[in-house]
Structure 1
Amino acid sequence: MRVFLATLASCVLAATAFGAQARPLSQNDRSVCGWGAQIASEAQHAKLSGVTLYAARKKLQVRRFAKPWMRMTAFGITEQTYNSSSRLPPKAIKQTYYEQCVQHAVARR
């Protein structure tokens, strides 16, 4: 029992030290996650509305993006959304995407 408590105490200390080192997410990371979540939400809405992947990609092709990497990323997010069997509403997709993106960004640090 004493060994267990000592191990538990050292794990708690290590977790506390690790948590103290973690920096908060940057505004840029939050912005990118929000943008990606919006793209996923729009793709899910189009998918559930019966819009083909081809038509969704055509719509993205003419859309203006602020950064060069955004176009291909939007295509990837849209394709993954269409390939998914999920029938969740777009709002749920947006929330899930954002949460997982933030979790990924924090784990990267």
Structure 2
Amino acid sequence: MTATFVLVAISFGAQAKELSKNSRYVCSWGSEIAEGAQASKLSGLTLYGARKKLQSRKFPRPWMRMTAMGITEQTYNSPSRLKPAGIKQTYYEQCIRHELAQR
């Protein structure tokens, strides 16, 4: 089991290097938003409260606010009870897969 995980991790590492810095940054940023949303959800904060927190946050790029809202809403709509770190890892892996598939 551990050997499989190591091979998967190495595989993702090699694939991630093929992506641009921007693609890796976007996947990393999105995974952090998903992690925060899951933590808020599990702590009992309502979706309204989570969205309000995002509204007051400063984002370096104009597209980030609406994207963060969408990620947060999807996270809240999911029945998942995974720990926030698990959500972050899953989001990042799926984002990398998606970016590679678009090539």
Q: TM-score, normalised by structure 2?
A: 0.83
Match of 1:77 in 2: 71
Percentage of pairs with the same residue: 68
Q: CA RMSD in A?
A: 0.9
Aligned residue pairs total 87
Q: Write out per-residue CA displacement over residues 1-20 of structure 1, whole angstroms, 9 at most, x where no aligned residue.
A: xxxxxxxxxxxxxxxxxxxx
Out of 14, 32, 35, the position equivalent to 1:41 is: 35
Amino acid at match of 1:75: M
Q: Does 1:106 align with 2:95?
A: no
Hey, what's the Cα distance between the residues in 1 that align with 2:97 and 2:25? 14
Q: Unmatched 5+ residue regions in structure 2?
A: 1-16
Match of 1:32 in 2: 26
Q: TM-score, normalised by structure 1?
A: 0.79
Hey, what's the Cα distance between the residues in 1 that align with 2:52 and 2:87? 22
Q: Which runs of structure 1 show a deviation greater than 6 angstroms over 4 or more consecutive aligned residues?
A: none
Match of 1:58 in 2: 52
Q: Write out per-residue CA displacement over residues 30-53 of structure 1, whole angstroms, 9 at most, x where no aligned residue.
A: 000000000000000000000000
Structure with greater Cα Rg: 1
